[in-house]
Amino acid sequence: MSTPYYTDPEKNFSLPSVGSRTQPPEQSGRISARRSLSDFSSWIPKYSWRTVFCLLVFAYYLGFFTIRTVLSFKSPHKYDVQTSQNSFSEKMQKLWGPYAPYYPVGEYVPPPLECKINQVNILQRHGARYPALLDVPVYRNAVEKLTSAKKFKGANMHFLKDYKYTLGEDDLLPLGASQSWEAGWHAYERYRGLVGGEDDLFIRASDLPRVVDSAGNWTRGFAAASQKSIRPVTDDVLSEEVNNTLNNDCPNADDGSAQMDTWLQQFAPPIVARLNAAARGANIDMKDVYGLMSMCPFESIVKAGSGLSALDAQSPFCDLFSEDEWRAFEYHEDVKKYYKTGPGNTLGPVQGVGYTNELLARLTDSPVRDHTTHNATRPFPLGRAMYVDFSHENAMVATYAAIGLFDAGVGGAPDPHRMPPEEEERVWVASHMVPFSARMVTERLECMSGAQEAVDAVREGTFIRIWVNDALQPLRFCGANEDGICALDAFVDSQGYARRDSDGDFERCYT
């Protein structure tokens, strides 16, 4: 088993202290040139001028590089493709679906002047991890088959001669720990005026180690951003041995494998033929193609936390496939999420009903009304300013579907027989929705009278807006305008499926 990363990334990755992130070292004052020369003159009898000259040159370069390092240091407030956040091609990573490292899809904007945020609900995926335990045999078998060939044709396959599968399973990676830490930092920076102390937050996590560790790293990042004035903790851990709102569970639901196999049959055969021609005797099949392509994101994110350059961090498996083939892989992940726990599965949205009803309870400061996965025996305080829940991507997709986000009817549902020719036509894109460390943020706003710019009306009362990875969600289903803001009452009314406990779909999961 690999070692989980649950300690403070400040220590794990030798990150600078909080003070050095925000301001350069203070200058201690100037030393006059005359005093410096008189000091050096006392050295002359003991040391030669050549020695003194060399020492001066050394001191000059040492000072130059020190100052340059301080001035060029980048704050974690911005994401950089070449930093610890992403150490490989941004264009490549966006084709990895749910295995993409976090990146902001849109640009966050503050609410209108007449509105103030008074509550924030964050639903966040754990950080980057090793391959899931159930997927490891698929990846390992594909690698072993390919490396069994006695001869390889093509320079991009030379690495296979001595390659051994070494990836761990399930546990959080250094990159994943850093992602959650930075998410906590950003949450404080964005909502610092909302949180005055630990009692203003309530934090939960589903109980798999990588999820609990992600929650812990988020709290450390939040505390660091607050200069340790606020030290949040994970308040509750929900067991996955029973139903809980932070994990998807529906035994009778399809898993989307039929649709995934259909799309695999559309794009994989030419790859199978090419790989078998370049690696005689490997006998690669379509399932192996998916395993080999998955090695690219997973091996890359493992290397990304080790401080390698962008070139070295990217797995050599990435170069075995063309850009068009990577777009086909990306679409495979879109199909998977849509038909596994998304709206393409009749029992997909029900797996997000429990969290949706908890969200409604928090927004309205009223007891939870849910008969699906909410556990009434667990702590569930109301009246907090910030709620943060750590979960999995499949549960988040189900929640999107239950609420009505990413309406594929606008751009067309993923068709497992055909990929749309234009990327812009697609609303359902997995890397936009659930990359590693993905987050859905629901803001509750209190607005006083003030004219809207878009329409001749007065906005007053309680409203909400939702962001997914910093992309503002349109919320047309509850009457939102271009600013994505809709009345809280209208949002509650729009959630009839959740409020009706899924119209019997929850019972269909088990009968």
HSE-CB at 448 with a 13 A cutoff on CA atoms is 4
In the listed set 288, 320, 336, which residue is the last one of a domain according to the structure? 336
Same-domain check for residues 451 and 345: yes
Q: Is there a domain that residue 395 lies in?
A: yes
Do 185 and 156 fall into the same domain?
no
d(CA 57, CA 455): 67
Same domain assignment for residues 189 and 176: yes
Place of tokens 């080790």: 306
Q: What is the pTM of this model?
A: 0.83
Q: Is residue 383 domain-resident?
A: yes
Instruction: Examine residue 9 and state whether it is found in any structural domain, yes or no.
Output: no
User: Is residue 440 included in any domain, yes or no?
Assistant: yes
Paired with 444 in beta bridges are 119, 464
Q: Note whether 377 and 424 are same-domain residues.
A: yes
The CATH number of residue 415's host domain is: 3.40.50.1240
Alpha helices in 226-342 (DSSP H): 257-267, 269-278, 286-304, 310-313, 323-340
Active site residues: 126
| Euclidean distance between CA atoms 172 and 184, whole angstroms | 17
Same domain, 288 and 414: no
Establish if 366 belongs to a structural domain. yes
- Domain count of the chain? 3
Q: What is the pLDDT along the chain (511 residues), one digit of tens a residue?
A: 444 444 444 433 322 222 223 322 232 222 223 233 233 333 334 445 555 455 665 655 555 444 333 333 333 333 222 223 344 578 889 999 999 999 999 999 999 999 999 999 999 999 999 999 999 999 999 999 999 999 999 999 999 999 999 999 999 999 999 999 999 999 999 999 999 999 999 999 999 999 999 999 999 999 999 999 999 999 999 999 999 999 999 999 999 999 999 999 999 999 999 999 999 999 999 999 999 999 999 999 999 877 666 567 899 999 999 999 999 999 999 999 999 999 999 999 999 999 999 999 999 999 999 999 999 999 999 999 999 999 999 999 999 999 999 998 766 899 999 998 866 678 999 999 999 999 999 999 999 975 445 444 568 999 999 999 999 999 999 999 999 999 999 999 999 999 999 999 999 999 9
Same domain membership, residue 313 and residue 176: no
Alpha helices in 382-481 (DSSP H): 393-403, 408-411, 430-433
- Asked if residue 420 and residue 380 are part of one domain, the reply reads yes
Tokens of 328: 């086909």
468 and 370, same domain (yes or no): yes
3-state SS assignment for residue 344: coil
Q: Name the residue range of residue 274's domain.
A: 136-170+254-336
Measure CA 366 to chain center.
30
Q: Are residues 417 and 349 in the same domain?
A: yes
Q: Which of 336, 357, 374 is the last residue of a domain?
A: 336
